[in-house]
Structure 1
Amino acid sequence: MTLTADLYFSFRSPYSYLAIGRYRELAETHDVHIALRPVYPLAVRQPDFFERNHPNWLRYTLTDMMRVAQFHGIPFGPPRPDPIVQDFATRKIAEDQPHIRRITRLGQAAARRGKGLAFAHEAARLIWGGAEGWNEGGHLAGAAQRADLDLAELDAEVCEEPDQLDAEIASNQQALEEAGHWGVPTLVFDGEPFFGQDRIDMARWRMEQKGLQKR
C-alpha cells in the first residue's frame, strides 16, 4: 500500500531546503508519495515579521542553518539573489517581489503535475546551494529538466494563471494551519504535522508504524 503525505514548503526557507532532499530520497526509496504544497514565506504573508522579531533571531538562524548543512553534508551558500527583496539594514520587505512570486508559482505548477517535490529540490539546490544568478540563464531550465519538466511550459502557465496559482498556494497555507501548524517545512502524514528539518526521522518512524515499505 502506498502511503501519502503533504510537504509544506517555502523556497525562501533555508530549513525547507535542508529538509527536502531527505524527503525526496525517502519518497524515491520507499512506498510513499509526498506531495509538495508550496506556500509563500513569512516575508510575504507577514511583512513586519523581521522588524518585530528578537534581534538575536537572525544571527542564531544563520549560525544554525550553516551547521545543519555541515552536519548533513548538504551544499549551502547564500542565495544570489535572495528570493525576497528586502532592506537588511531596516529589515523592511519591498512591496514588489518578482523572484518569490515566480518561483513559488512555478513550484505550484510543478505540483499540479505531481512533480513538485523533485522540482522544489532541484530549484532549492540552486537558490540555497550557492548558484549565482539562479533566476537567470539556464539554471531553472536545468532544474526543471532534472525533475522531468519543461520550464517554458511552467512559465507559460505562471503567466496565464497567476491568480489561480496564488489561490492554490493560499489554499496550501490554509490546509497547513488546519493541520495544526503554520511554519515550514512541515510534513503532514495521516493528519499529524511534523515541523522542521529535525523531525524527518520521527516522520519516517510514524510512517513505519503505518506500514511503510521500501520499494
Structure 2
Amino acid sequence: MPHHIDYFFTTLSPYVYLAGTRLEEIATKHGATITYKPVDLLSLFGRTGGIKPADRHPSRMEYRAQELTRQAKKRGMPFHLRPAHWPVNPAPSAYAIIAAQAAGGGDLGALVHSFARGCWAEEKDISDDAVIRACLEAAGFDPALADKGLLAGAETYAANLEEAAARGVFGAPFYITGDDERFWGQDRLDDLDAYLAGGL
C-alpha cells in the first residue's frame, strides 16, 4: 500500500525552513504522497500546552538561538536569526498554499520552502502580496492564486487547526503517516525516512 504523509507546518517556522525540501525527497524515494496542511501555530500552542516564543524563558530562547544557528551551519543554509520581517501574519501565505494545492500544476514543496526561505534567508515580508505572487510563480503556479479562494482558504486554514489539535500535533514541522506514526521536527526526517523504509 502506498505511503501518505500529512504535513502540518507554518511558513513562519525557522525549523520548517531548515527542513528544506527533504520531506519531498523522502516522499519521492518511497513513492509517498503528501498533503500540505498549513496551521496557525500560535493558536495551536495555546491549545496543546506550548508557549509562544515571546513568552518563553530567556534560557530557552538563548538555547534556541544557538541551536538554530548550528543547524543552519550544519546544513549549509543561509540564515538570519532575527529576520527583518518576523513575525508577520502567516495566513496570506497559508491561503496561497491552500489555493495552489487545490489548483495543482506546480511544485508545492518548492512553494512552501520559498516562503520559509524568503523569511529566514532573504528577509522578505512573506505576508506581502508581491512576495506571495513571486513565490507562486517561481514554484510553477499562477500568481493570481494569491487573490483566489480566500474564503475557502480561511475555512481550510481553520479546519487544519482543528485537525492538528485532534491528531496530536503540537509543533512544526510535524509529519503524520497514513498509519498514524508521528514525527515532530526537521531533525526527525531521517527517522521518517527509516520508518517508510520499514526500518523503524
TM over 0.5: yes
More off after superposition, 148-157 vs 187-196:
148-157
Matched, 1:203 2:186: no
- TM-score by structure 1 length? 0.76
Distance 1:194 1:48 in 2: 20
Judged with a 3 Å threshold, the aligned counterparts in structure 2 of structure 1 residues 175 and 205 are, in CA distance, closer, same or farther, namely same
- Contact 1:34 1:117 (C-alpha < 8 Å) held by counterparts: no
How many residues end up aligned between the 2 structures? Answer: 192
SS in 2 for 1:37: strand
Judged with a 3 Å threshold, the aligned counterparts in structure 2 of structure 1 residues 53 and 136 are, in CA distance, closer, same or farther, namely closer
Of 154, 158, 171 in structure 2, the residue corresponding to residue 166 of structure 1 is 154
SS in 2 for 1:209: coil
- Contact 1:111 1:117 (C-alpha < 8 Å) held by counterparts: no
Of 77, 81, 100 in structure 1, the residue corresponding to residue 85 of structure 2 is 81
Aligned pairs for 1:117-196 (under 5 A) are 117-136=109-128, 139-158=131-150, 161=151, 164-189=152-177, 190-196=179-185
Matched, 1:60 2:63: yes
The Cα offsets for residues 89-117 of structure 1, whole Å up to 9 and x where unpaired, read as xxxxxxxxxx3221222222223235543
- Measure how far apart 1:185 and its partner are: 0.7
Q: Sequence identity of aligned pairs in percent?
A: 27
- TM-score by structure 2 length? 0.81
Q: Which runs of 5+ in 2 are unaligned?
A: none
**AA paired with 2:189?**
I
Q: Which runs of 5+ in 1 are unaligned?
A: 85-98, 211-215
Distance 2:23 2:41 in 1: 20
CA RMSD of aligned residues (A): 2.7
**AA paired with 1:6?**
D
Tell me the equivalent position of 2:39: 39
